[in-house]
A = this chain, B = another copy of it.
Amino acid sequence: MNSDLMGEIQSGRSEFLERLRIYLNCQSVSTDPAYAAGMRDARRFLTGFLDGMGFSGIRELDGGVGGHPALYAECLNAEGAPTMLVYGHYDVQPPDPLDRWKSPPFEMQERDGRLYARGISDDKGPTMIALEAMRAYLEVRGGLPINVKILLEGEEETGSPSLPNILKQNADLLAADAILSADGARWRADLTAVNVGSRGNGGFEFSLKTADMDLHSGRYGGAVPNALHEMARVIAALHDTDNRVTVPGFYDGIVMPDPATEADLHAIPFDGAAWAGGVGASEKGETGYTTLQRLWDRPTLEVNGMWGGYQGAGSKTVIPNEAHAKITMRLVPGQKPEAIRDAVKAHIAALVPPGVELTFTADRGWTKAYTVPAKHPLLMAAEEALSETLGEKPVRVRIGATLPLSDLVSRELGIDTVMFSFSTADEQFHAPNEFLRLSAIDDGIRAWICILDKIGNQLPDLYAPYRQK
């Protein structure tokens, strides 16, 4: 039925890989101001590509709070068809630690059926897959079967600080029936699944200070506080021996899945020990829950960085006067981000003893957990497209990670989000040697063509009951 499109995609494969290579070459690390030029490079590349494909109205959307702008483009010629806001993000995680990469992080390299580069799986590859399906449509048929608005964010990896303003200030421009997201990876390579929800997140940094300067460990040792001992005590006290977070109120209001959904979860074939062993880790988490429940239905509090004192070669006999920690949390349905933030900060403050100065800094965006409605028409279209393309009915799963967009869009635009990414969760996101399976490119482009068709056959009215604004 779509052999004309598939032919175009096959004959354009080497150009596709070349475009992907150039996009990955842009060092678009959003968290570190040193990479500002790489962020600009990524926006310039996307602008040129979208313009060449036939998208119009291309512009940068700035939240007005000094952050990285998002890129917008549209193609709105499918009269009577639904309108989808297609989402992706062009920013990536920092490449550190650099010495662990087998090839330079910003140069795409193919090895053993995989493409390696920072951001190839999260989220540059999946974005380019979605765009390639649309490019083929526009090239071969001169139009898309649905109306498409594209929003490519530049701050997904830093908690989306500008996104609330971008959505608020451009509510009319971004109005759509639903969000179809090219972000939010597939769970496993061996199981066809569709994501129906994600955890929320938030975080901050805090510092402890015990003296005006580092002190000589002989001349002061044993008689004054050591900032690292104090930090260790605070961090250690945040979890109990059952690996439960000790913050009072942390688990208040959590909505656990209904019994049928929980039974479905326990029916999913999953070998936790093998899953953890695949990255050299062991299973460890909150007592009383399975690994899947810990990942999907239970919240976490994780220290992402902790440091103080001397880290150089050899030894330095100091009592460090300062210690620092970066903390993030993953939240589940029912948890209120602001309440969690305040409770965790209050608990840390209560753990810090007299004589130790506590400072909180670097509050990052706080996002609620999200769940897509069980009978949402876009979820139906996604399930049909995956069944047809991959020959297997997808299992409904959640992800432990966060799509800040889902929660924000629900709040600001009143619409729902379905994730339709073709990266896979084991592809070393946020770590050295991030990769994308080459097979995902074919599967993904075919599935995107199929879902565009499926949505094109839906009446926009189907979406009305789910639109809250």
Residues of A within 8 A of B (CB): 30-34, 93-94, 96-97, 100, 157-159, 185, 198-199, 201, 203, 205, 210-226, 228-229, 231-239, 272, 276, 279-286, 291, 294-295, 298-300, 302-321, 323-326, 328, 330, 354-355, 362, 364, 399-402, 425, 428-433
Quick one: given A210-B281, A218-B399, A295-B222, are A305 and B300 in contact (CB under 8 Å)? no
Can you list 25 A-B pairs, Cβ within 8 angstroms, ordered by A?
Answer: A93-B316, A97-B214, A201-B218, A203-B317, A210-B281, A214-B430, A214-B431, A216-B425, A217-B304, A218-B402, A219-B295, A222-B294, A223-B285, A223-B400, A224-B285, A225-B281, A228-B235, A228-B303, A229-B238, A281-B355, A302-B317, A306-B308, A307-B308, A310-B326, A311-B324
User: Which residues of the partner chain B approach A305 to less than 8 Å between Cβ atoms?
Assistant: 228, 308-311, 316, 320
* Cα–Cα, bound, A305→B276 (Å): 30
User: Which residues of the partner chain B approach A216 to less than 8 Å between Cβ atoms?
Assistant: 401, 425, 429-431
* Cα–Cα, bound, A318→B330 (Å): 12
User: Which residues of the partner chain B approach A220 to less than 8 Å between Cβ atoms?
Assistant: 279, 281, 295, 400
User: Which residues of the partner chain B approach A323 to less than 8 Å between Cβ atoms?
Assistant: 306
Contact across chains for A94 and B316 when beta carbons are under 8 A apart: yes
Q: Which of B286, B304, B313 contacts A31 (CB 8 A)?
A: B313
Q: Give the nearest-CB partner of A290 in chain B.
A: B223
User: Which residues of the partner chain B approach A282 to less than 8 Å between Cβ atoms?
Assistant: 210, 224-225, 354-355
- Shortest CB–CB separation between residue A126 and chain B, in angstroms? 15
- Shortest CB–CB separation between residue A26 and chain B, in angstroms? 18
Q: Give the nearest-CB partner of A245 in chain B.
A: B222
* Cα–Cα, bound, A219→B306 (Å): 21
* Cα–Cα, bound, A325→B223 (Å): 21
Summarize A's interface: helix, strand, loop or mixed. loop
Q: Give the nearest-CB partner of A324 in chain B.
A: B311
User: Which residues of the partner chain B approach A283 to less than 8 Å between Cβ atoms?
Assistant: 223-224
Contact across chains for B224 and A281 when beta carbons are under 8 A apart: yes
* Cα–Cα, bound, A316→B302 (Å): 11
- Shortest CB–CB separation between residue A234 and chain B, in angstroms? 8
* Cα–Cα, bound, A320→B237 (Å): 18
* Cα–Cα, bound, A331→B286 (Å): 40
- The 4 lowest CB-CB distance pairs between A and B, nearest first, are A218-B401, A31-B314, A212-B280, A282-B355
Quick one: given A216-B401, A323-B306, are A31 and B222 in contact (CB under 8 Å)? no
Contact across chains for B306 and A306 when beta carbons are under 8 A apart: yes
Q: Which of B185, B276, B309, B364 contacts A315 (CB 8 A)?
A: B364
Contact across chains for B354 and A96 when beta carbons are under 8 A apart: no
Contact across chains for A313 and B32 when beta carbons are under 8 A apart: yes
Contact across chains for B32 and A314 when beta carbons are under 8 A apart: yes
- Shortest CB–CB separation between residue A369 and chain B, in angstroms? 11
Contact across chains for B315 and A302 when beta carbons are under 8 A apart: no
- Shortest CB–CB separation between residue A326 and chain B, in angstroms? 6
Contact across chains for B222 and A300 when beta carbons are under 8 A apart: yes
* Cα–Cα, bound, A310→B317 (Å): 24
* Cα–Cα, bound, A311→B207 (Å): 12
- Shortest CB–CB separation between residue A335 and chain B, in angstroms? 13
Q: Which of B235, B318, B400 contacts A431 (CB 8 A)?
A: B318
User: Which residues of the partner chain B approach A215 to less than 8 Å between Cβ atoms?
Assistant: 279, 281, 430-431
Contact across chains for B313 and A222 when beta carbons are under 8 A apart: no
Q: Give the nearest-CB partner of A328 in chain B.
A: B317
User: Which residues of the partner chain B approach A219 to less than 8 Å between Cβ atoms?
Assistant: 185, 295, 399-401, 425, 429
